[in-house]
Structure 1
Amino acid sequence: MKIVLSFIKYHVNQCVRQIFWLLKLSQSKIGKNVSIQFPVIREGNGSFSLGDKSKLEKRTNIGVGDKAVLDVGKVALFESESTILVNKNYSLKIGDQFKLGAHARLYVNSDWSFGNAVKIETHCAIFARESGFAGKLSIGDHSHIGDFTIIDLVNDVIIASDVAIGPNCTLYTHDHEYKDKNVAAWKGGIVSKPIQIEKGAWVGSNVTILPGVTIGERAVVAAGSVVTKHVEAETIVGGIPAKLIKKI
Structure 2
Amino acid sequence: MREGMVGKIIKYITSYLRLIFLKIKYGKKLECKINSIKSVYVGKGVRIKINPGYKLVLGESVYLSDYCKLECLSGDITIGNGTFFNDCCKIICFDKITIGDECLFGPNVGIYDHDHRFDIKDMLINKQGYTTKSIEIKSNIWIGANSVITKGCIINKRVVIGANSLVKGIVKSDAVYGGVPIKLIKVIDK
Task: Give me the TM-score of the superposition, normalised by structure 1.
Answer: 0.63
CA contact (8 A) 1:221 1:237 kept: yes
Q: Which has the larger radius of gyration?
A: 1
Residue 50 of structure 2: aligned partner: 108
Q: Deviations over 1:70-91 (max 9, x none)?
A: 65422236xxxxxxxxxxxxxx
Q: Which amino acid aligns with 2:43?
A: G
Distance 1:190 1:108, change over 3 A: same
Please give the residue correspondences for 1:122-141 in structure 2 after superposition, counting only pairs within 5 Å.
122-128=66-72, 133-141=73-81
Aligned-residue Cα RMSD (Å) equals 2.3
Q: Which amino acid aligns with 2:111?
A: L
Instruction: Report the Cα distance in structure 2 between the residues aligned to 1:68 and 1:232, rounded to whole angstroms.
Output: 32
Match of 2:181 among 229, 233, 241: 241
Instruction: Report the Cα distance in structure 2 between the residues aligned to 1:66 and 1:119, rounded to whole angstroms.
Output: 20
Q: Which amino acid aligns with 1:64?
A: K
Taking every aligned residue pair, what percent have the same amino acid on both sides?
Answer: 27
Instruction: Report the Cα distance in structure 1 between the residues aligned to 2:15 and 2:42, rounded to whole angstroms.
Output: 10
CA contact (8 A) 1:101 1:121 kept: yes
**Deviation of residue 189 (structure 1)?**
3.0
Structure 1 SS opposite 2:170 = coil
CA contact (8 A) 1:160 1:197 kept: yes
Please give the residue correspondences for 1:63-82 in structure 2 after superposition, counting only pairs within 5 Å.
63-64=24-25, 72-76=33-37
**Deviation of residue 179 (structure 1)?**
1.7
Please give the residue correspondences for 1:1-248 in structure 2 after superposition, counting only pairs within 5 Å.
55-56=13-14, 60=18, 61-62=21-22, 63-64=24-25, 72-76=33-37, 97-109=39-51, 110-128=54-72, 133-248=73-188
Structure 2 SS opposite 1:55 = helix
**Deviation of residue 66 (structure 1)?**
7.8
Number of residue pairs aligned between Structure 1 and Structure 2: 173
Instruction: Report the Cα distance in structure 2 between the residues aligned to 1:115 and 1:192, rounded to whole angstroms.
Output: 25
Structure 1 SS opposite 2:70 = strand
**Deviation of residue 69 (structure 1)?**
6.4
Q: Which runs of 5+ in 1 are unaligned?
A: 1-36, 38-53, 78-96
Task: Give me the TM-score of the superposition, normalised by structure 2.
Answer: 0.81
Higher helix share: 2
Which structure has more RCO (C-alpha within 8 Å, separation ≥ 6)?
2
CA contact (8 A) 2:114 2:133 kept: yes
CA contact (8 A) 1:176 1:187 kept: no
Structure 2 SS opposite 1:168 = coil
**Deviation of residue 163 (structure 1)?**
0.6
Distance 1:185 1:239, change over 3 A: same
Distance 1:189 1:122, change over 3 A: same
